[in-house]
Amino acid sequence: MASHLMPEPQAVRAELERILASAPFATSHRSQRFLSYVVENSCEEAHESLKEYAIAVEVFERDPSYDPAIDATVRVEAGRLRARLREYYAGQGRNDTLVIDMPKGGYRVTFTEREVSGSAPAPADPQSVIAAAGQVPPSTVEIPAAPVQAPGILRRMLRWEVAAALVLCGFLGWALLGHSRHPRSAASAKAPIVLAVLPFSNQTGSDANNYVTDGLTDNLIRQLSELPRLHVMARTAVERASRQAVVSQLGVKVLLVGKLRRNSEGRLVLDSELSNANGTVLRSSQYMADESDMPSVQADIVQDVIQGLGIELNARQSAGAQKPITTSPAAFQAFLRGDSAARDMSPRGMHASLQNYEEAVRQDAQFALAYSAMANSHMLLGLYYEPPRDHMPLARQDAERALAIDPSLHEAHGTLGLIHLVYDWDYGAAETELSAADARESAIRALSCTAHLHLLGDREHMRHAEEDLHRMLEFDPHSPGLINELGCVSYYAGRYADSIRYYREAIAADPQAAVTYWGLGRSLAREGHYSEALETLRHFKAMNGFEPPIITAEIGYSEALSGDRKAALATVARLQQESATTYVDPYLIAVVYLGLKDYDNTYAWLNRGYTARSSFLIGIATDPRWAGSRSDPRFEEIWNRMTESSRHVAALSSPAGTTTVQ
C-alpha cells in the first residue's frame, strides 16, 4: 500500500542521508549533488530551479552560456541518477518505507510512502513502486535499448571498441607524463570555494625531511578534495605558477600554506596558514610534528580548513574528515616515503615506492590507502616497464585488499578496473569497477581521464570526454597531461589535424614526455607526413638522451610506411636486441611488421603479445592503424582467444574460484 502525501521534512532528510551514504551513491559526488539539489528544490516547490538550465549552472557549474541543445550533461547525469536510485531500492533500500524517485520527463522528485513487511519482497525499483500506485504510467519505466547488431567479429568487438580506444594513449600519458593525484570537484549547490594547497616547504635544514612536506601536500590535496563546496587545484598547476599567478590566473580564492621547521628545542614544528586571496588570515595554527604526531597533524589541518571556511558536513562526511588515514605513526612515515619515491616514475622509483608501501602495511595491516598505492606501483611496472605477468596479479591482489578494507577508494577501483581491461581483457569487470568508482570524477584525481570516460560509453562519449577534459583544465590550465589527452581523443576520433595541434602544445609544456612525441608521431603518420613524423620521434632522444621502446617502434612503423623497408627491419633488429636487457612488449614489434605489410610476422608477434598478456594488445580493437586488418581470420582468431580468456578470468573470479590468474 503506497501513499503520496508529502512526508515530514525529517523523514525526507533521513531517507536522503541513507541514499547518499549507500554504495551506489557514496562514491558518486555528482549524483550526490544532483539528488540533494532536486530534493531540496522539490520540497520548496522551486519550479525555476528544476529547469535544465538552472541545474546545469548551479549543480554542474556550467557557464551561463549553457545551451541544452548542445550540452547534454544534465540529461546524461539524470539517467545515471535514476539508475543509482533503482539500484539502491533494489538492494540496501528495499525495506525503506519512503521512496524518493525522479520520474522521467522532468527533474522534480516524488516521495512515495509504502508499507514494507519483513518477509515480503521489495519492488525492484522506485519506478515500479510509483507506477503501481498510479502516479506514473508503466510506459514511463526505462527499458534498456536492444543492442545494435553487427556482422562477424565487429559484433563481438562493438562493446570493446570505445572502451579500448584511448586506454593505451591515456594511461601512458598518465604514467610517462608523471601523474599527480588530481583533485575531484566536490561542489554543492552553494557557491564553490576554489582552494590551492601551495607545496609545503621544508625549512628544517635537512633534505631528508622533504618526503614529509611532499607527502603532506599530496595527502591534504587528496583529503580536501573530498569535502563539499571545495574545488582544489591540481598540485601540478600550483607548482607551475607563482603565488600571485595562482590567484590572478587560476581564480583561486583561498590558499593553504605550510612550513616544517625546528624550534629552539630542536623539535619538529609544522606551521600552517589558511588565508583569502587578498591576504586575510582565516586560520593560523602550529603543530608539534614529531613522527608520533604526524597522522593526527594532517587530520587537524583538515579540520582547521573546515572550520576556517565554515563548511557544513553531514555525519558521514564529518567522520571521514576527522579520521586519520592510519593510526600508526610508523606506517604513516613509510607511506609518505613511498609517495615521495613514486613521484619518480622510473622503474627505480616504482620499486622504491613498493618497499615503503610494504613497510606501511606491515606496520598497519588495515592501511587501505597503502594497499591501493602498492597496487598502483605494481600496475605501472606491469604496464610499461617489466613483464605484466610479474606485476599484474600482485596489483590485483593489493587493489582487492584495499577495497576489502575501504570499498570507497576510487584509486583502487580504478586500478582494478584497468587490470581487468588491459590484463584480463574483461570489459564487463572493468566497466563494473570503473562505474563503482564514478570514473568521471575519480579520473581527475587518479588515473587517466580518457581511458575511464570511454570505458563507460559509446562513441557519443567522445564529445563528453572533451567536455570533461576542458572542465578539468580549469583546475590545471596548462597541464601537458590533459592537453595530451585532448590530442588522444582527437586521434581516435580521426581528427588528426586537431590531435597534432594538441600534441604540439603539450610538448611545448613538457618536452620530456615520451607519450606525447609518440602521439604526435602517430598523428603525423596518419596524415602521410612521414618525414616530419620521423623527425619528431627522433627528436625525443636528442632532447632527453634515451629512447623508450614505444618511440623506437613508432620510428620503425613510420619508416615502413615511408617505404624505407631496410631501415624498418633494422629498427626491428634493434628492438629485439634491446629485449635481451630490458622488457620490450611484443606488440610493439608487431606494429613495425604491420607497417611493412609482413602479416605473417605481424600475427606471430601479436601471438607472442597474447602469451605475454601485452598491455597494448587491447589497442587492436580501435587504433586506426589496425582497421584494415580486422577482416583477416588471424586477427579474428586472436580476438576470439582474448574474449575466451576474459571469460575464463571472470569464471575464476567468481565466489567459488580464485583471483590469481596469471
Note the pLDDT tens digit of each residue in 387-405. 999 999 999 999 999 999 9
Instruction: Flag whether pLDDT at 435 surpasses 90.
Output: no
Instruction: Flag whether pLDDT at 656 surpasses 70.
Output: no
Non-local (6+) Cβ contacts of 636 within 8 A are: 152, 153, 630
Q: Please give the pLDDT value at position 471.
A: 65
3-state secondary structure of 156: helix
- Cβ atoms of 595 and 565 within 8 Å: the answer is no
Non-local (6+) Cβ contacts of 248 within 8 A are: none
- Tell me the CA end-to-end span of the chain in Å, nearest whole number: 53
Q: Please give the pLDDT value at position 610.
A: 94
Residue listed under C-alpha cell 570499498? 407
Question: Could you read off the pLDDT of 128-171 as tens digits, one per residue?
Answer: 433 333 333 333 333 233 333 333 444 334 333 434 444 444 44
User: pLDDT class for 47, splitting at 50, 70, 90?
Assistant: low
- Cβ atoms of 550 and 588 within 8 Å: the answer is yes
Question: Could you read off the pLDDT of 188-225 as tens digits, one per residue?
Answer: 346 678 888 888 989 988 888 888 888 888 888 877 87
Question: Could you read off the pLDDT of 240-287 as tens digits, one per residue?
Answer: 777 777 777 777 888 899 999 888 878 888 888 998 888 888 888 887
User: pLDDT class for 290, splitting at 50, 70, 90?
Assistant: low
3-state secondary structure of 43: helix
Residue listed under C-alpha cell 508529502? 6
Q: Is beta strand 110-114 parallel, antiparallel or unpaired with respect to 98-101?
A: antiparallel
Q: How many CA atoms lie within 13 A of 538 on its CB side?
A: 12
Altogether, the residues listed in the chain come to a count of 662
Instruction: Flag whether pLDDT at 72 surpasses 80.
Output: no
Q: Please give the pLDDT value at position 649.
A: 58
d(C-alpha 74, C-alpha 627), whole Å: 34
For residue 246, how many other CB atoms are within 10 A of its CB?
21
d(C-alpha 554, C-alpha 492), whole Å: 17
Q: How many CA atoms lie within 13 A of 654 on its CB side?
A: 7
d(C-alpha 294, C-alpha 41), whole Å: 43
Tell me the mean pLDDT in the region 365-383.
92
d(C-alpha 588, C-alpha 579), whole Å: 11
Q: Please give the pLDDT value at position 207.
A: 85
d(C-alpha 328, C-alpha 348), whole Å: 27
What does DSSP assign to residue 186? B
Model confidence, pTM: 0.64
